[in-house]
Amino acid sequence: MRLIWVLIPLIGFKITVSANEPIRFFPELAEWGASGLVFYTAMWLDGQPAWSSRTISKQVTDKPFHENTVSSSKLYAAAGVTALGIGLIPNSDGWLDQSAYHHSKGLVEALSATYLFTNVVKNIVGRKRPCFSNYPEEDIFDANKSFPSGHASISFAIASYSSLYVLDHFGASSGNKTGQWIYAAGSHALAAYVGYSRIMDNRHFVSDVIAGGLLGSGIAWLIYDYQEQKLSEKETTGDVSKSVVPYFVTLSIPF
């Protein structure tokens, strides 16, 4: 997740829709800052022991321990690449436009919020993992953080947010959404594979993965809708002038 906070602020850009309606610096800076605070709170919680430890429905917790099939670093790299793609790939409205800016920011917000809510629930529930009894001693604090699956919540947040963006902001002129639906199906298939790998690695139960997927998708949808509403308020028939400015370079430095 740190990768996102190093790279994404660098693609912030000043967009002036009309002489009277620029993107305002300080409200945007505050929104980025709030998202950063959410992310670092989530990261702190991720390193804390769960507040309880329990089994649910007497499920087996002595399965063999396996290394991650999909590592966290690969998942975070996918998140960073997706956010950069939203920000930099030309969409139906052009290149470096308002929708690209708001939704690259929105994806960062969705991932930060998903990360936070996932870790809050993990620490409250304290569910033992399927491989609890065979967990490495050096990582034992993580052995009872099974519910919900963080890999599933993050991967489905990426898939859901980016799919909504692609469906709404690509191919509008042609009206042909085949490519967009292929992307949506493919991204969700990859997210499902991540969830499946967590079950096969004995890190999570099926219910953990389902809960994580629903959590990530739900948060992604809410924040996407919020960013779309902000875009609707800014719509105008005037020309859009764009100049790329590293608005949030100073914000990225401490992150």
pLDDT band at residue 23 under the 50/70/90 scheme? low
Of residues 15 and 168, more confidently modeled: 168
Of residues 139 and 171, more confidently modeled: 139
Where would I find the H helices in the chain?
Answer: 2-7, 25-46, 72-88, 98-125, 150-169, 178-200, 206-234, 249-252
- Quick one: pLDDT at residue 94? 81
Torsion of CA 164, 166, 171, 172, to 10 degrees: 40
For the question of whether the overall pTM of this predicted structure is more than 0.85, the answer is no
- Quick one: pLDDT at residue 10? 42
Write the CB contacts of 15 (distance below 8 Å, at least 6 apart in sequence): 22, 23, 96, 97, 98, 101, 240, 241, 242
Geometric angle at alpha carbon 222, from 203 and 232, rounded to 5°: 150
- Quick one: pLDDT at residue 25? 76
Percent of the chain with pLDDT over 90: 63
Summarised one tens digit per residue, pLDDT across range 81-103 is 999 999 999 888 788 888 899 99
Residue 93 contacts residue 23 (beta carbons within 8 Å): no
